[in-house]
Amino acid sequence: MRDSTSAQGFPARFHRYLDKRARWFAPICAFGLTVPIISDGLAGSEGTLEWLVDLASHWQWLYLVGLVLACAIVILNDRRWALWLLAMPLAGLTASSPALNVGHEPIQDLGVLTIVSANVNLENRDSAVLIRWLSEAKPDVVVLLEVSPEYVSGLDSLSGYPFRHLVPRHDPFGIAVLSRFPFSDVKTIEDKGGREHIESLIDWKGQPVRLTAWHPMPPISPFDHTLRNQQLLALAKAAKKSGQPAILAGDLNATPWSNAFSGLDQAGLRRATGLTPTWPAIGYGWVGIPIDSVLVTPQWTVVEKKVGPNLGSDHLPVIVRIALRKELSLGR
DSSP annotation string for 121-179: -TT----HHHHHHHHHH--SEEEEES--HHHHHHGGG--S--EEEEE--SSTT-EEEEE
- The lowest-confidence range among 115-119, 177-181, 286-290 is 286-290
Structure letter (DSSP) for residue 325: B
Residue 105, pLDDT score: 67
Q: Strand locations in 205-299, DSSP E?
A: 207-213, 246-251, 270-271, 292-296
Contact 4, 55 (CB under 8 A): no
Question: What pLDDT sits at residue 143?
Answer: 98
Tens digits of residue pLDDT in 22-52: 999 999 999 999 999 999 999 999 899 999 9
Question: Which SS3 state, helix, strand or coil, does residue 104 take?
Answer: helix
Region 121-131 average pLDDT: 95
1 — pLDDT class (breaks 50, 70, 90): very low
Q: What is the predicted pLDDT for the residue at 50?
A: 96
Confidence bin at 328 (pLDDT 50/70/90): low
Contact 32, 63 (CB under 8 A): yes
Q: What domains lie within the chain, and their CATH numbers?
A: 2-93 (no CATH), 102-328 (3.60.10.10)
The pTM of the full predicted model, rounded to 2 decimals, is: 0.92
**Inter-residue contact 327 to 299 (CB < 8 Å):** no
Please give the pLDDT value at position 8. 56
pLDDT: which is higher, 12 or 184: 184
Q: Which residue has the higher pLDDT, 176 or 105?
A: 176
Of 314, 310, 294, nearest in space to 116 by CA: 294
Residue 324 pLDDT class (50, 70, 90 cuts): very high
Distance CA 325, CA 116 (A): 20
Contact partners, residue 33, CB within 8 Å, separation at least 6: 60, 63, 64, 67, 87, 88, 90, 91, 94
